[in-house]
């Protein structure tokens, strides 16, 4: 008779916004043990240690076995179940947070292909890292930080061994989106391209190449265009002076603002405002 078991831990609350472990565990399933059909509200990675089972998602049913890894995406209906003769044993970690989407996009997991077959990942290392997350589990803030730190290490392994052909472009897209988010929040301050690159965590030259590849423009051009877009809104909707508007959108030099505005719009800020009346 198979000695099945299940060890699991579920966090009581989400203590960290950027990335937080929701649950973690290790299970040797009973024959034909099934979860679903159902949906989760978080990501959940399962790494198969031994045995065999099936994973059903998006109308596809695939057989997976020891060394394979699959992921559950939030709000995506799935069903997975153990083999009747050789039921699988797996370890898992569920997680959520602001960084989760960005990180998963930088791995080989895809919504249309949410599994990674054995041979592309270091099996023992994945098992070890999942074990560390479980070992440091706890509901207090210190444990939450420890679990998240171990989770970042696990996810960085998936990123390191990513082999899909679109990896470079996807990484560039992630960096550009992060940069655009930063600009949309901080454009009114005198931020520079160096500030943006530092926030994203890459060099200025790589940020430049990423913007050229994804946006077909430099990050400086995008920053200026964004500021000018916000300036046009203020010119239309407020009675602020030109100097105040320039300062409000991140231009500390009024003359430079007027020159950049005219270069883009083929008219001065004052002329643009008059045309909106």
Radius of gyration (Cα) for the chain, nearest Å? 25
Question: What pLDDT score does 150 carry?
Answer: 96
Do 5-160 and 166-277 agree at the fold level?
Answer: no
Q: What is the mean pLDDT of residues 195-200?
A: 90
| Higher pLDDT pick, 139 / 232 | 232
Quick count: other Cβ atoms within 10 Å of Cβ 84?
11
Model confidence band, residue 160 (pLDDT cutoffs 50, 70, 90)? confident
Domain ranges of the chain: 5-160, 166-277
CA dist., res. 268 & res. 277, Å (int): 15
Name the fold adopted by 166-277.
Arc Repressor Mutant, subunit A (1.10.10)
- Kindly state which CATH superfamily the domain 5-160 is placed in: Regulatory protein AraC (2.60.120.280)
CA dist., res. 261 & res. 255, Å (int): 10
State the DSSP code for 73: P
Quote the tokens at residue 260: 């950049």
DSSP 3-state of 61: strand
Q: Model confidence over 72-100: pLDDT tens digits?
A: 999 999 999 999 999 999 999 999 988 88
CA dist., res. 13 & res. 138, Å (int): 11
Q: Model confidence over 201-224: pLDDT tens digits?
A: 888 888 999 999 889 999 999 999
């Amino acid at each position: 008779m198979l000695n099945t078991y299940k060890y699991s831990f579920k966090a009581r609350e989400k203590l960290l916004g950027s990335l937080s472990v929701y649950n973690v565990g290790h299970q040797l399933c009973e024959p034909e043990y099934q979860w679903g059909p159902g949906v989760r509200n978080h990501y959940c990675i399962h790494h198969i240690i031994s045995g065999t089972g099936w994973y059903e998602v998006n109308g596809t049913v695939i057989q997976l076995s020891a060394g394979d890894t699959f992921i559950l995406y939030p709000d995506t209906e799935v069903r997975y179940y153990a083999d009747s003769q050789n039921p699988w044993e797996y370890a898992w970690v569920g997680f959520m947070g602001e960084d989760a989407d960005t990180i998963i996009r930088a791995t080989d997991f895809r919504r249309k292909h949410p599994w990674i077959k054995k041979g592309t990942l270091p099996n023992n290392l994945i098992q070890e890292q999942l074990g560390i997350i479980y070992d440091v589990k706890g509901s207090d803030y210190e444990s939450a930080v420890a679990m998240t730190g171990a989770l970042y290490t696990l996810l960085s392994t998936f990123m390191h061994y990513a082999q899909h052909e679109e990896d470079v472009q996807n990484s560039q897209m992630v960096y550009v989106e992060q940069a655009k988010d930063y600009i949309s929040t901080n454009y009114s301050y005198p931020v520079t391209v160096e500030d943006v690159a530092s926030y994203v965590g890459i060099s200025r030259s790589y940020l430049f190449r990423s913007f050229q590849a994804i946006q077909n423009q430099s990050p400086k051009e995008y920053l200026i265009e964004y500021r000018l877009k916000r300036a046009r809104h203020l010119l239309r909707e407020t009675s602020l002076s030109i100097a105040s508007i320039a300062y409000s959108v991140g231009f500390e030099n009024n003359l430079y603002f007027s020159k950049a505005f005219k270069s883009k719009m083929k008219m001065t800020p004052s002329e643009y405002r008059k045309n909106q009346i």
